[in-house]
Chains A and B, each alone.
Chain A
Amino acid sequence: MSGRSASLARRQRRFRWVVITLVVAFFVLPLLGALEFTTRELRTGARTGATWATLVDVNKVSTDYPALKEGFLYSIGLSLITVLIMLALLVPTMTWVRLRVPGMSRTIEFICLLPLTVPAIVLVVGLAPVYSWLSAWLTYFFGADIGESTLWLGLAYVVLVLPYAYRALDAGLRSIDVRTLSEAARSLGASWATVMWRVVLPNLRGAVLSSAFLAVALVLGEFTIASLFSRNNLQVAMFLLGKSDAQISVAVGLASLVFAFLVLFAMSFVGNTRSGTSPLSRWRGRLRKEPS
Chain B
Amino acid sequence: MTGHSTEAGVAVQLTDLRRTYSGVNALDGMTLHIEPGEFVALLGPSGCGKTTALRCLAGLEDPDSGTITVAGKDITAIPTNKRDMGMVFQAYSLFPHLTARQNVEFGLELRGQDKARRRARAGDMLDLVGLSAHADKFAHQMSGGQQQRVALARALAIEPQVLLLDEPLSALDAKVRTQLRDEIRRIQLEVGTTTLFVTHDQEEALAVADRVGVMSVGRLEQIAPPAELYSAPRTPFVADFVGTTNRVASRANGATADVLGGPVPLLEGSAQGDVVVLLRPESVRITPVVDEESANATVVSASFLGGHGRVVTRTDADEQVVVQVGNTEVTMYAAGSRVRLSPRGDAALAVAR
Contact = CB atoms under 8 A, between A and B. Distances in A.
A205 B98 CA distance: 13
A199 interface: yes
Interface of B: 58-60, 79-87, 89, 91-93, 95-97, 106-107, 110-111, 138, 140, 151, 154-155, 158, 164
A242 to B, nearest CB: 47
Given A183-B87, A187-B164, 18 more contacts: A177-B92, A180-B93, A181-B93, A183-B58, A183-B60, A184-B95, A185-B95, A186-B60, A187-B60, A187-B80, A188-B106, A188-B107, A189-B84, A190-B106, A194-B110, A202-B95, A202-B97, A203-B95
Nearest to B79: A186
Contacts, number: 74
B81 A177 contact: no
Given A187-B80, A189-B110, A189-B111, A177 B91 contact: yes
Contacts of A111: none
B248 to A, nearest CB: 46
14 contacts: A176-B96, A177-B93, A181-B95, A184-B151, A186-B59, A186-B81, A187-B81, A188-B81, A188-B86, A188-B154, A189-B81, A189-B107, A191-B81, A202-B97
A132 to B, nearest CB: 43
A180 B81 contact: no
Contacts of A47: none
Nearest to A188: B107
B290 to A, nearest CB: 62
Nearest to B55: A183
Contacts of A194: 110
A274 B81 CA distance: 28
B89 A189 contact: no
B106 A180 contact: no
CB-based closest 3 A-B pairs: A188-B107, A184-B93, A187-B87
A275 interface: yes
Contacts of B59: 186-187
Contacts of A185: 95, 106
Contact of A203 (B82, B87, B89, B96): B96
Nearest to A202: B97
B93 A274 contact: no
Contacts of A186: 59-60, 79-81
Contacts of A202: 95, 97
A275 B140 contact: yes
A185 B107 CA distance: 8
A51 B61 CA distance: 66
Nearest to B93: A184
Contact of A274 (B83, B96, B106): B96
A274 B60 CA distance: 28
Nearest to B80: A186
Contact of A188 (B60, B91, B110, B140): B110
Contacts of A274: 96-97, 138, 140
Nearest to B138: A274
A199 B110 CA distance: 13
Contact of B91 (A180, A187, A198, A276): A180
A100 B106 CA distance: 24
Contact of B95 (A187, A189, A199): A199
A199 B93 CA distance: 11
A189 B151 CA distance: 15
Contacts of B110: 188-190, 194
B20 to A, nearest CB: 17
A185 B89 CA distance: 12
Contacts of B92: 177, 180
Contacts of B60: 183, 186-187
Contacts of A198: 106
B170 to A, nearest CB: 14
Contacts of A190: 81, 106, 110
A256 B317 CA distance: 89
A171 to B, nearest CB: 15
A190 B85 CA distance: 12
A256 to B, nearest CB: 34
Contacts of B107: 188-189
A275 B79 CA distance: 34
A181 B95 CA distance: 7
A102 B92 CA distance: 21
B212 to A, nearest CB: 24
Nearest to B110: A189
B158 A203 contact: no
Interface string A189-216: 1110010001100110100000000000
Contacts of B79: 186
Please indicate which of the listed interface residues B84, B93, B140 has the most CB atoms of chain A within 10 Å of its own CB: B93
Nearest to A183: B60
Contacts of A205: 97
A177 B92 CA distance: 9
Please indicate which of the listed interface residues B84, B85, B107, B154 has the most CB atoms of chain A within 10 Å of its own CB: B107
A85 B107 CA distance: 31
B90 to A, nearest CB: 8
A183 B97 contact: no
A96 to B, nearest CB: 16
B89 A183 contact: yes
Contacts of B84: 189
Contacts of A187: 58-60, 80-81, 83, 85-87, 155, 164
A187 to B, nearest CB: 4
Contacts of A183: 58, 60, 80, 87, 89, 93
A57 B338 CA distance: 103
Nearest to B94: A184
Nearest to B106: A188
Contacts of A177: 91-93
